[in-house]
Chain A
Amino acid sequence: DTAVSQTPKYLVTQMGNDKSIKCEQNLGHDTMYWYKQDSKKFLKIMFSYNNKELIINETVPNRFSPKSPDKAHLNLHINSLELGDSAVYFCASSQMGTGAPEQYFGPGTRLTVT
Chain B
Amino acid sequence: GDSVTQMEGPVTLSEEAFLTINCTYTATGYPSLFWYVQYPGEGLQLLLKATKADDKGSNKGFEATYRKETTSFHLEKGSVQVSDSAVYFCALTPNSGYSTLTFGKGTMLLVSP
Contact = CB atoms under 8 A, between A and B. Distances in A.
Interface in A99-114: 99-108
B44 A90 contact: yes
A44 B102 CA distance: 7
Interface in B35-69: 36, 38, 42-46, 49, 51
Contact of B98 (A40, A43, A56): A56
B25 interface: no
A107 B43 CA distance: 4
A48 B100 contact: yes
Given A42-B106, A105-B44, A99 B32 contact: yes
A106 B34 CA distance: 17
A86 interface: no
Nearest to B31: A100
B100 A100 contact: no
B6 to A, nearest CB: 11
Contacts of A31: 98-99
Interface size class of A (residues with CB under 8 A): 20 to 34
B103 A42 contact: yes
Contact of B43 (A41, A48, A101, A106): A106
B46 A90 contact: no
B85 interface: no
A68 interface: no
Nearest to B87: A41
Nearest to A48: B100
Contact of B99 (A42, A44, A94): A94
Given A96-B99, A99-B32, A100-B95, 20 more contacts: A35-B101, A40-B105, A41-B38, A41-B108, A42-B103, A42-B105, A42-B106, A43-B103, A45-B101, A56-B100, A90-B43, A92-B44, A100-B34, A100-B99, A103-B46, A103-B101, A105-B36, A105-B45, A107-B43, A108-B42
7 contacts: A4-B43, A41-B105, A56-B98, A90-B43, A99-B51, A99-B95, A100-B51
